[in-house]
Amino acid sequence: MKGFVHGGQAGLQGLSLKEQLAEQEPQHGEVKIKLKAAGLNHRDLFIPDRHDPGEADVILGSDGAGVVIAVGEGVKEIQEGDEVIINPGLGWEKNAPIPPVGFQIVGFPGHGTFAETIVVPEVNAVKKPESLTFEEASVIGLAGLTAYRSLFTRGQLRSGQTVFIPGIGGGVATFLLKFAKAAGARVIVSSRSEEKRQLALTLGADRALADEGDWVEETINEKVDLVIESVGAATFNRSLEVLGKGGTLVIFGSSTGDKIEFDLRTFFYGQYNLLGSTMGSSEEFHDMVAFINEHSIKPVMDKIYDFQEIKEAFTHLNSSHQFGKLAVRLAEK
């Protein structure tokens, strides 16, 4: 089968599209999926630096959607012909404060979704909402689940609250915006890009702040209940200043650096809550899909590439210019 792999050389130089890769067959409790589309994530850019080029080639990709073409013994809920989304989290079934020991993500160290087929445990194949195309369904897994857990499990967002999302534009951030609005929240976003701010407003954001502006002054009449942070060092303290006393800041990423300093006295006098979050459980994944169905949510799609254009998709992702998600079409419509 055809697949997009890393191996042989370090970093992005080790990426290649190969034609004759061995296919796996489902074992007990597993299903084999013919992938129709796969979603890109920034994780896919990091794996080439983590994977030892001297080891066997690894097929990249964490997100995907397709049709089940074979099932192993013991499979009960999924049948051949089912259209499914892949939950990329392996080994985290029940909602819990932290993932269990052994938790992994599809696409490294095991093979991923940038291929014609994949084998995953039955629990990781979730029936695709009929309202979504395969391309739309293929981008939900990692980013959608990260957004859902950050907002609802960790952030405990409720209707009528105000949430602030710095750095609008990426896949998780656009899911955060759509999920929060569907839940009845007021949403404020920020970006250094005027174009991205305007796009966020068309998607339902109530306000869009410029990164170079004075966020405290511009939100002086707002009570921000929840901040969802992923930018990291560049915005953490500014986000904390926007947060109302007694509010919660959830952080799931640190794209501008991991090390910060902040004023502890201001923090404890403000009665703030600081929570970490990443990915989520199978239980939360099913809840997220149900939420998407209930509210007829569609992901924000930046661009869809054909399989032979996957290196161009990586270049586009690496530029950080996208608004929403990127997908690769792996099979004919």
pLDDT digits (tens, 9 = 90+) for 90-100: 999 999 999 99
The domain tally of the chain equals 2
Q: What is the CATH number of the domain that holds 85?
A: 3.90.180.10
pLDDT digits (tens, 9 = 90+) for 228-250: 999 999 999 999 999 999 999 99
The pLDDT of residue 190 is 97
- Record the pTM: 0.96
Residue 256 has pLDDT above 90, yes or no: no
The pLDDT of residue 257 is 87
Residue 101 is assigned to a structural domain of this protein: yes
Residue 333 has pLDDT above 60, yes or no: no
**What does the pLDDT average to over 186-200?**
97
Residue 182 is assigned to a structural domain of this protein: yes
Q: Can you give the residue range of the structural domain that contains 305?
A: 3-140+299-329
Q: Which residues on adjacent β-strands are paired with residue 171?
A: none
Q: Percentage of the chain with pLDDT > 90? A: 94
Among residues 2, 43, 34, which one has the least CA distance to residue 314? 43
Assess whether 243 and 183 both reside in one domain: yes
Cis amide linkage into residue 109, ω under 30° from 0: yes
Q: Tell me the three-class secondary structure of 76-124, residue by residue.
A: CCCCCCCEEEECCEECCCCCCCCCCCCCEECCECCCCCCECEEEEEHHH
Q: What is the mean pLDDT of the chain?
A: 96
Spatial contact of 59 and 117, defined as CB atoms under 8 Å apart: no
Residue 315 has pLDDT above 90, yes or no: yes
Residue 285 is assigned to a structural domain of this protein: no
Q: Which of 114-118, 165-169, 256-260 has the lowest mean pLDDT?
A: 256-260
Query: What would the DSSP string read from start to end of 231-279?
Result: S-TTTHHHHHHHEEEEEEEEE---TT-S-----HHHHHHTT-EEEE--S
Residue 267 is assigned to a structural domain of this protein: yes
